[in-house]
């Protein structure tokens, strides 16, 4: 169960630069390609002629040409032409609204007439010279909500990511979860602690000493349908922590766009936006590689947790204080799902 009348990150423009991309999103097989004027188009990946996947075709002058018998598909899902055929009566295929924003292609899997570009969330760190961004994509076999749980409860860092960002003080510091409409926040502040290896690297990247006590923060923000932005960072202790001036801290936002593929698999777009040394491309790459390794440590856990839950579908799980972020995020999703389905079926 996932929201469909909403924007999901589908791919990056570079993924469709030279040829179409077939990708399933919210259980729908879609083809993405660069249509007329370079705008990325998303259609059902199903040729109305004989059911061939259009993603095996090619793009010619902004039209998607089926690689089987040459049907030319327009960006509205209506056939434009086919050699030797009158195509006016051909059935249309679904065209999914898309918008290119922040270096991603976003798609609206639900009712097209409800798509509204203004509903793409606003992020201050994209397209902003004060920030740098790097990230990647993992394909994971788990329900998208297990990933939300994961990101809204960072006590797992102590165990899953023990050698990079984990430290016992995360477990020892209580977190506070707040709900404001559809926005769920879980915050944790740690004072006068040692920086773990990843943050030592980040401090050095910002020309700061890495062997002095620091204040550390983690502020997880969930917004629907499945975006989790995590403000993270360390400041030299006593400089104001989260509010310390930029030259006393390393401040970043972990960016997580979780796009359901099926009920038990996701496209997980992860990344990090940082507000220090934004011009330092080598630092961007170094952080991207570090984060990629760290986030790969979650894959086995999530996939085997999913298998366990499928094998025990009726077993109740615990909802502890540390789980409040995930629990509240799921409540927001359930409320919106009920609204969406009521609006559709009511």
Residues at the site binding its own copies, with contacts judged by CB under 8 A: 29, 45-46, 48-53, 56-57, 65-70, 82-85, 90-91, 149, 153, 155-156, 158-160, 168, 171-172, 174, 300-301, 304-305, 307-309, 311-312, 315-318, 320-323
- To its own copies, the closest distance from the beta carbon of 237 in angstroms equals 23
Of the pair 201, 309, the CB lying nearest its own copies is at 309
Answer whether 47's CB lies under 8 Å from 71's CB.
yes
Three-state SS string over 256-269 comes to EEEEEEECCEEEEE
Answer whether 252's CB lies under 8 Å from 274's CB.
yes
- To its own copies, the closest distance from the beta carbon of 331 in angstroms equals 17
Please spell the DSSP secondary structure of 52-119, one letter per residue.
--GGGSEEETTEEEPTTT-PEEPTTS-EEE-TT---TTSPP--EE-EEEETTEEEE--S-GGG--GGG
- To its own copies, the closest distance from the beta carbon of 248 in angstroms equals 29
| Residue 319: how many other CB atoms lie within 10 Å | 12
Answer whether 199's CB lies under 8 Å from 227's CB.
no
Query: Under DSSP, is residue 21 helix (H, G, I), strand (E, B) or coil?
Result: strand
Which segments of 213-323 does DSSP mark as H helices, in order?
281-296, 299-311
Strands 63-65 and 58-60: what pairing? antiparallel
Of the pair 157, 210, the CB lying nearest its own copies is at 157
The C-alpha atoms of residue 126 and residue 89 are separated, in whole angstroms, by 44
Of the pair 44, 231, the CB lying nearest its own copies is at 44
Of the pair 118, 314, the CB lying nearest its own copies is at 314
Of the pair 120, 309, the CB lying nearest its own copies is at 309
The C-alpha atoms of residue 238 and residue 244 are separated, in whole angstroms, by 8
Distances (CA, A) of 294 to 141, 163, 177, 181, 345: 18, 9, 25, 32, 43
Of the pair 281, 320, the CB lying nearest its own copies is at 320
- To its own copies, the closest distance from the beta carbon of 49 in angstroms equals 5
- To its own copies, the closest distance from the beta carbon of 168 in angstroms equals 8
Q: For residue 256, what are the β-bridge partners?
A: 228, 270
The C-alpha atoms of residue 42 and residue 21 are separated, in whole angstroms, by 9
- To its own copies, the closest distance from the beta carbon of 5 in angstroms equals 22
Of the pair 29, 223, the CB lying nearest its own copies is at 29
CA-based nearest residue to 297, from 181, 152, 172, 140 = 140
- To its own copies, the closest distance from the beta carbon of 84 in angstroms equals 6
- To its own copies, the closest distance from the beta carbon of 94 in angstroms equals 12
What single DSSP character describes residue 177?
A: E
Of the pair 41, 54, the CB lying nearest its own copies is at 54
Of the pair 263, 300, the CB lying nearest its own copies is at 300
- To its own copies, the closest distance from the beta carbon of 278 in angstroms equals 34
């Amino acid at each position: 169960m996932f929201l469909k009348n909403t924007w999901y990150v589908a791919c990056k423009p570079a993924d469709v630069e030279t040829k179409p991309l077939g990708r399933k999103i919210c259980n729908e097989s879609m083809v993405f390609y660069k249509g007329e004027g370079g705008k990325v188009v998303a259609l059902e990946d199903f040729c109305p002629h004989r059911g061939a996947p259009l993603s095996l075709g090619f793009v010619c002058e902004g039209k998607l040409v089926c690689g089987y018998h040459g049907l030319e598909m327009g960006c509205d899902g209506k056939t434009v032409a086919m050699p030797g055929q009158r195509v006016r009566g051909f059935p249309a295929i679904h065209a999914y609204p898309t918008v290119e924003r922040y270096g991603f292609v976003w798609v609206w899997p639900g009712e097209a007439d409800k798509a509204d570009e203004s509903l793409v969330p606003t992020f201050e760190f994209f397209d902003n010279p004060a920030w740098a961004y790097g990230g990647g994509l993992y394909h994971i076999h788990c329900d998208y909500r297990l990933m939300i749980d994961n990101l809204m409860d960072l006590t797992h860092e102590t165990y899953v990511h023990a050698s990079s960002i984990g430290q016992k003080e995360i477990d020892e510091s209580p977190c506070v979860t707040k709900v404001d409409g559809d926005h769920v926040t879980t915050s944790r502040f740690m004072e006068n602690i040692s920086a773990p290896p990843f943050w030592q690297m980040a401090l050095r990247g910002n020309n700061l000493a890495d062997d002095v006590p620091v204040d550390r923060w983690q502020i997880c923000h969930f917004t629907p349908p499945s975006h989790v932005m995590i403000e993270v960072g360390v400041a030299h202790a006593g400089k104001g922590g989260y509010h310390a001036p930029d030259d006393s801290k390393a401040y970043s936002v972990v960016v997580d766009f979780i796009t359901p593929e099926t009920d038990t698999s996701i496209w997980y777009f992860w990344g990090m936006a940082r507000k220090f040394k934004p011009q330092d491309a080598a630092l961007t790459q170094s952080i991207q590689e570090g984060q990629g390794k760290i986030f790969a440590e979650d894959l086995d856990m999530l996939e085997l947790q999913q298998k366990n839950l499928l094998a025990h579908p009726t077993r109740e799980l615990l909802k502890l204080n540390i789980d409040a972020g995930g629990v509240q995020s799921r409540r927001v999703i359930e409320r919106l799902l009920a609204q969406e389905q009521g609006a559709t079926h009511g």
